[in-house]
Structure 1
């Protein structure tokens, strides 16, 4: 059975919105404040994660943003992302932007549950914080990987929205990458 793994970049206060500043969010561009060893280590971690994964799962907006940026790139990370199967959750999208993609219409919970049955490895969820809310709310997430960037924005879209109840997580790994990024891995604590 596949595992849903949310892998995202976030600020210390949990903002995932507009890391590159291209979406028009007034606090956007926070990722671009970092460079050098931080971004090199971040890219190494992202490449290793993609090589260990089997598929990508994302929302429509993430497909529209990632698709044009990654299809024009080459290298180990880009080649892996471009070649792996991708699933886009959307009620309106007919033709995904990114190559090798399938649109999942209708019941998100049912579609993702079925997708987990069809794969044996990790199914990565990049960006897609709205989809992440749904997956977390319905206990479909098997692992959460956060790269925390040491900046506080005070507002913006967050991976962790309001949920119907508490979602306990257990820290299974923490390490510093680069000069100051925290890479944290959590797994949900499921009731016995």
Structure 2
């Protein structure tokens, strides 16, 4: 049985919006304000996660963003990401050229519950915050991996926002990433 894993980055105050500053959010770009050594350590963690992932589950907008950066990119990490099966939740047409891609439509909660039954291993969700809210509301999240960046930006979009039902998770891991980042891992409470 597959496990739905949210893997994301956020600031100390929980902001996940516009990490690279490309969206024009006035407090964006916090991801780019770390040292090269921390960026290398972050990339190592993310690459290892890719190697342990069975499939990606991603929203349409996030798929577009990632595909723009990874399609045709050289290197072992890019090749590993491209090989992964991708399940894209979208309501409009869009690209599907980033390796094996299946578009999910209709009853998304039912589609994802079915996906969990068919795939053995971690089904990782990157960004896709609207999808994350849907997963949380339907109690479909098995694990959250959060890399915390040493910035406080004060306002902006969060990974978990506008939920109508609180969810309890239990801490299952804490690891430093480089000198300035921390990865927190939480699992579904029993």
- TM band (smaller chain): over 0.9
Q: Could you tell me which runs of 5 or more consecutive residues in structure 2 were left unpaired when the two chains were aligned.
A: none
Question: Which stretch has the larger CA shift, 87-96 or 16-25?
Answer: 87-96
Superposed, 1:102-117 pairs within 5 Å as: 102-117=102-117
**Runs (4+) off by over 3 Å:** none
| Counterpart secondary structure, 1:21 | coil
Kept after mapping to 1: 8 A contact 2:10/2:148: yes
TM normalised by structure 1 equals 0.95
Q: Which residue of structure 1 aligns with residue 121 of structure 2? A: 121
- 1:101 corresponds in structure 2 to 101
- Residues 94 and 103 of structure 1 are in contact (CA less than 8 Å); yes or no, is this contact kept in structure 2? no
Q: Aligned pair 1:38/2:38, yes or no?
A: yes
Q: Output the aligned Cα RMSD.
A: 1.2
Contact 2:15 2:159 in 1 (8 A): yes
The aligned length equals 190
Q: Secondary structure at the match of 1:37?
A: helix
**SS at 1:96 equivalent:** coil
How many angstroms apart in 1 are the aligned matches of 2:97 and 2:107?
21
Q: How does 1:29-178 map to 2 (within 5 A)?
A: 29-178=29-178
Deviation at 1:14, TM superposition (A): 1.1
Indicate if the aligned counterparts of 1:64 and 1:97 stay in contact, CA closer than 8 A: no
- What is aligned with 2:24? 24
Deviation per CA, 1:101-144: give whole Å up to 9, x if none. Answer: 11101111011111111100101101111111111111101100
Which whole-Å CA distance do the structure 2 matches of 1:95 and 1:183 have between them?
A: 31
* Deviation (angstroms), 1:97: 4.7
Instruction: Say whether the 8 Å CA contact 1:148–1:183 is kept in structure 2.
Output: yes
User: Aligned equivalents of 1:101 and 1:157: distance in 2?
Assistant: 27
Q: Offset of 1:188 from its aligned partner?
A: 1.8
1:70 deviates by 0.7
Question: Alignment partner of 2:49: what SS?
Answer: helix
Q: List runs of 5+ in structure 1 lacking aligned partners.
A: none
Secondary structure in 1 aligned to 2:45?
helix
State the Cα distance separating 1:48 from its structure 2 match: 0.5
Q: Is the 8 A contact 2:176 2:182 kept in 1?
A: yes
Conserved in 2, the CA contact under 8 Å of 1:55 and 1:85? yes
